[in-house]
Amino acid sequence: MSHYKAPLETMNFVLFDVLNAGQLSSLPAFEDATEDMFKAVMDEAAKLAERVMLPVNASGDREGCQYFPDDYSVKTPTGFKEAYQQYREGGWSGLSASPDFGGQGLPHLLKMIVDEMVCSTNLSLGMYPGLSHGAIDCLTQHGSEYLQSTYLPKLVAGEWTGTMCLTEPQCGTDLGLMSTKAEPDANGETYKISGTKIWITGGEHDLADNIVHLVLAKLPGAPNSSKGISLFLVPKFLPDGSRNPAFCGGLEHKMGIKGSATCVMNFEEATGWLIGEPNQGLKCMFTMMNAARIMVGIQGLGLGETAYQVSLGFAKERLQSRSLAGPAKPELKADPIIVHPDVRRMLLKQKAIIEGARAMAYWTGMHLDMSHAHPDETQRERSDDIAQIMTPIVKSFLTDEGFSSCDQALQSMGGSGFTQDWPVEQLMRDGRIARIYEGTNGIQALDLVGRKLSMKGGQLARTYFAEMQAILSGLNDPQHLESCQSFLQTLQKALGWLASNATKDPEQAGAVASPLLRMFALTTLAVMWAKMADVSRTEAVKNNYSEAFLSGKQKTAAHFYRLYQPEMQALLEDITAGKNTLMSFAEAEF
């Protein structure tokens, strides 16, 4: 049993009452993306998630993928192929892709919302088309006319899928250590790609007719560092229909996402085409990686939402003991466990974080769309600043807290949560990887501190604070405003300490990166909760939602500040303590 129902009411509240996502339809690129269009697509996506993706989730986890070494093939779990076919036929693969290649040209934000529902119901299956979106973005921005015309229509239609091939046995984050080679062919147009890549999601499967690998490799004479990496398109089947020697050498045996084929890929002088300029592969790949990082954050959000729904439903039905205040349901043999303060502590932590994180993610998605499509150059740059600085925050915080939501759900359900009779144990196993892949959350924190905060002379951070203050400027609740200003001031103190210490000693920046990223996330959620609580009091909104729905927003906002305002002070103390107790140990002292 799953108890998942797409949270359309909460999604609509965040999108149209809090963030005013309808404004996207005023942009020339998104004229069709009206509120009615959004809601119609979301309604259909809910049906897809609940009726197509969800029914094969648990069975897919237990069956897993099968590898056949005789022909290097992979069979996905029973029902996955049919479910993917419905996904493809529904046009979901091309939702945000360019109409020039058969896509629908709708906002990336809308795709994020669909991704959330898919990840809530079947993360393993959702990962196959998930990386295709990144490949589409990469080819759209960096591919030659030949590669675009040959591969994009099929990828956009979902007839083919894409992969991202970075990691090798000897190198993960440090891509400069990679050994995969690309030798120019005599024809001057293609290259022979040789090497082994590991942990390749969807590297081989039976869902689509072709698989398009985007592979990082080094050209002869390239610099022996990350500055010497190029990007190549290497298809499973070549344009003439012949088999390219890009073979799956086996499947990884994983803790979770067992229905997703995570492959070892061997490229044996496989034919490939250069994407972009020589030695500029990371620049091209970051187009794909940034999209993938935001999607991974959405994975955490989706799993956390499902875990909350499961544990909430359980808490309302499970009878155990009596309320400490006296029987709440005297007609029953015992009270439902939702009456107990400790169960509420876990449920309300889930609710405060998941709903706040959704607002943060959707806000980031709106700015991502405006960074590409807004007609005003100044607004495009401001939105790009927000999308850039928020990408590592969305990826890290949502995956950390999505996993925490699963953990809280399991704990509140007691022994039932630990069994396969309920889906939470699978959600925990599936969600744990999200904190690791597409750059571990520690790497995301280093990206924030080491790259994003210094970009454009610190402009990204200045834009962030200006946007936070702009959101607060129209709010009325003095208590929430005071709380938000406290969050913002505490974050600024942490940044001041970083500016004074990190330039003198880079290890100081590394030591405080993770707590600083969390401070950014909590500060953003504080502002989002102030906005949600304020909007829930307006007369126009009161006509659209129940009194319980709106009062729940106001009470959750107050609970959020109770929980996390003290944590901000603790994080600041952690940061200002610096590296001393971390880096003073000799190896022998561990």
Total length of the chain: 590
How far apart CA 204 and CA 251 sit, in angstroms, is 9
- Would you say 54 and 123 are in contact if contact means Cβ atoms under 8 Å apart? no
Torsion angle (degrees, nearest 10) of CA 487, 489, 494, 496: 160
User: 97: left (phi > 0), else alpha (psi -120 to 50), else beta?
Assistant: beta
Token pair listed for 28: 């020339």
For 258, residues 6+ apart whose C-beta sits below 8 A from its C-beta are 60, 61, 62, 63, 64, 65, 124
Report the alpha-carbon distance of residue 364 to residue 389 in Å, rounded: 9
Tokens for 53?
A: 């993706």
Distance CA 308, CA 409 (A): 6
Is 204 one of the catalytic residues?
A: no
Q: List the catalytic residue out of 204, 355, 438, 467.
A: 438
CA angle centred on 507, ends 501 and 512, rounded to 5° = 70
Q: Which two tokens stand for residue 38?
A: 């959004």
CB 247 within 8 A of CB 287: no
- Residue 175, token pair as written in the block: 């891509």
In this structure, the dihedral spanned by the alpha carbons of residues 62, 68, 72 and 76, taken in order and rounded to 10 degrees, is -30
The secondary structure of 462-524, three-state, reads HHHHHHHHHHHCCCCCHHHHHHHHHHHHHHHHHHHHHHHHCCCCHHHHHHHHHHHHHHHHHHH
Q: 3-class secondary structure for 82-132?
A: HHHHHHHHCCHHHCCCCHHHCCCCCCHHHHHHHHHHHHHHCHHHHHHHHHH
Q: Which residue has the tokens 């359900």?
A: 413
> Which of the residues are catalytic?
438
